[in-house]
Structure 1
């Protein structure tokens, strides 16, 4: 958990110059304020909350938003990252109004309680499509009353491939109920998927099986690991016997007085350019 922490350059009167990034998941909520002029995070806070299902997410999110007075400030723009397991990648030429009218229900069991969200990933010539609850969108629009950018975390990860000196690279982002896995070989995306897990052994099995399926050598892969609530150590220890090169997620901008945050998914999503 990260309490409300600020950089020395943070000025509460200048939030209109900051980009607000909010991360929403069943593990809890977090926010960061990114100084777009100086290119660094100047404030952040993470609040772990164990939420049993998506049906309860909106209620918990409403309580959290109303408890954080900082979020009532005016910001340059606002990004909302929704950690949801189900998504798909669609080539750009088949997205938007070219999607079949029933594509949402076919791909996601979309109904009147959900809405289809599309994120453009220019580097792939594709769009990442996912659904979220309609009442969640309504809550966010009512609370902020400004235009919001609603994003999937993999949109950021796929738009800006993690840099590695190895031939292959992969990234794992874990939550309490599922994890995301991306795999690149020679700079080419081979896999972007999510997997449910009950125990960490499930996670290890799915990672190893996925590498076998895409025929990619783990010995020539740098694996980046991060957790939505920054609980990386156990997963790293479990995967060490199978990967020679395991690293923490790296970003440019940092909070120098908080080294743990400097490798967090919150910082990565805040600092990424989309």
Structure 2
């Protein structure tokens, strides 16, 4: 199993006691096997695949699972972290009408999921391509679908500066979260084919919301292994920029493994 990182405690005969977390994006796939009892990652692997269209994710996903024996073992729980650009927030009110399908399912070819977000008393609704949904269901039954933005809204790092920005990259898709203290100001996704487009959208978002970049700590992360280019791109415009990561003690296990996936998995309830 080339590229597989394992802890000495990993036991293939005990996987029904472990949680499997799978990250799905246009940059490829990664998985983590996590022990809830020991609170540690026991196995992990990242597979970079450049996928040209969301409609092709299902086929690549099937090929990837078939090539990884660890993914075919039984697990106590399976979570799918998917970077889906179509999402929206729905307030938790009795009179709230779920008339948001046009935003999250514009072509009527997606299955809709919702993640509850405790910190803002709302749900995040997102759509997943029907073919991918059926593929995952055939492999893992009722796996839990989770959007990374929903996890970050509930687990945003404590920052000394008044404002916090989180910028995630998944190929040409960028997810931006802006908060002032505990108040959510923006959660959005946009596409940018060129660096200049990304910079323009970032600066314009701050300008429209009246947020000071000097009073903002911008955290960056992505589905690729190296996010240094994002930091270098943002530094001329933001005095404080750093990579979003966890201080989890077993990060030495994660050489070449996606740090964002670690962060999202270890901060998930």
TM-score range normalised by the length of the shorter chain: over 0.9
State the shift of 1:244 in Å: 1.4
How far, CA to CA, are the matches of 2:199 and 2:8 in structure 1?
40
Q: Which residue of the other structure, out of 127, 130, 134, is the alignment partner of 1:131?
A: 127
Structure 1 consecutive aligned stretches of length 4 or more whose deviation exceeds 6 Å: none
1:105 & 1:208 partners in 2: Cα distance? 28
Aligned residues: 268
Q: 1:172 and 2:156 equivalent?
A: no
- The corresponding residue for 1:237 is 232
Give the TM-score, by structure 1 length: 0.91
Alpha-carbon separation, structure 1, partners of 2:258 and 2:69: 26
1:164-206 deviation line (CA, Å, top 9, x unaligned): 1222111111011111011111221111111100111211111
Q: Given that residues 46 and 258 in structure 2 are in contact (C-alpha distance below 8 angstroms), is that contact kept between their aligned partners in structure 1?
A: no
Q: Confirm or deny that 1:206 pairs with 2:201.
A: yes
For residues 30 and 263 of structure 1, what CA distance do their matches in structure 2 show? 7
Match of 1:5 in 2: 5
Alignment partner of 1:264 out of 254, 259, 262: 259
Q: What is the alpha-carbon distance in structure 1 between the residues aligned to residue 186 and residue 7 of structure 2? A: 37
Cα drift, residue 227 of structure 1: 1.3
Give the Å deviation of 1:262.
Answer: 8.2
SS in structure 1 opposite 2:204?
helix
The change in CA–CA distance for 1:261 and 1:212 in structure 2 (over 3 A counts) is farther
Residue by residue, what CA displacement relative to the aligned partner does 1:133-160 show, whole Å, maximum 9, x if unpaired? 1121111111123x21011111111121
1:34-90 Cα deviation digits (max 9, x unpaired): 111122222111101111112211111111111111011111211001111111101
Against the structure 1 CA distance between its residues 249 and 95, is the aligned structure 2 distance closer, same or farther, given a 3 Å change threshold? farther
Q: What whole-Å deviation, never above 9, does each CA across 1:199-250 have from its counterpart, x for those lacking one?
A: 1121111111111111111111111111112220111111111111111113
1:82–1:153 contact (8 Å) kept in structure 2: yes
| Separation in 2, partners of 1:60, 1:262 | 19
Change (3 A) 1:161 1:261: farther
TM-score (norm 2): 0.92
Q: Match for residue 117 of structure 2?
A: 121
Quote the Cα distance in structure 1 between the aligned partners of 2:196 and 2:47. Answer: 27
SS in 2 for 1:231: coil
Whether 2:196 is the aligned partner of 1:197: answer: no
Maintained 8 Å contact 1:261/1:267: no
Match of 2:44 in 1: 44
- 1:252 CA displacement: 4.2
Gap change, CA 1:142 and 1:64, over 3 Å in 2: same
| Structure 2: distance between partners of 1:262 and 1:95 | 44
1:104 corresponding residue in structure 2? 101
